[in-house]
Amino acid sequence: MMLREQKAKAVEKILKRYPDRRSAIIPLLWLVQRTAGYVTPDGITEVAEITGVTLTQVQEIVSFYTMFHQKPVGRYLISVCDNISCSLLGAEQLVEHLEGRLGIRAGETTANGLFSLQTVECLGACNMAPVMIINETLYPNLTTEKIDQILKNCT
């Protein structure tokens, strides 16, 4: 009941923006994620109830978009693009470098809860490949040296 109890005003505001409640699914999921840190099972249930769709329909949306997390993520979520342009320019080595530096594999979170690492589809910045996003900041033209510097600034 997190949304309707704690975020009633925000929910109302989102619903007002859309004549069809189903269009509010993604903004409501964002609200769940911003509030709880990830998209909780309860949040999925609430979004389904509020928008009048089935649980499965909401779950499908959550699993389709990599921006939605179904488990808690670290304070810094590192998303490395491993699509074609970035891959040709060494994305795999960058991921390996990050895995080595953080001591985790892609898809995992460090034990101290500081970093999560994932690979994602094209971020629409192929002309700046290879790229990664940390939370909402894009880092272009990456090298392992640049990554070391960026990680230093994160801690």
CB-based contacts of 62, cutoff 8 Å, min separation 6: 29, 39, 44, 68, 70
Q: Could you say whether residue 131 binds ligand FES (CB under 6 A)?
A: yes
With contact defined as beta carbons under 8 Å apart, do 113 and 71 qualify?
no
Q: Name residues contacting ligand FES, limited to 136-155 (CB under 6 A).
A: none
In the list 104, 122, 133, 150, the residue contacting ligand FES (rule: CB under 6 A) is 122
In the list 14, 78, 81, 147, the residue contacting ligand FES (rule: CB under 6 A) is 81
Q: Which is nearer to ligand FES, 48 or 80 (CB)?
A: 80
In the list 58, 106, 125, 147, the residue contacting ligand FES (rule: CB under 6 A) is 125
Question: Whose CA is closest to 146, among 134, 116, 118?
Answer: 134
Size, binding site for ligand FES by CB under 6 A: 11
Q: Could you say whether residue 86 binds ligand FES (CB under 6 A)?
A: yes
Task: Give the range of 17-25, 28-36, 69-77, 124-132 binding ligand FES by CB under 6 A.
Answer: 124-132
Task: Give the range of 51-59, 69-77, 83-91, 111-119 binding ligand FES by CB under 6 A.
Answer: 83-91
CB atoms within 10 A of CB 49: 14
> Exposed, middle or buried, 45 (CB in 10 Å: 0-12/13-18/19+)?
middle
Taking CA atoms, 121 is separated from 32, 79, 152, in Å, by 23, 9, 25
Question: Whose CA is closest to 52, among 14, 78, 21, 28?
Answer: 21
Q: Which residues bind ligand FES (CB under 6 A)?
A: 81, 83-86, 122-123, 125-126, 129, 131
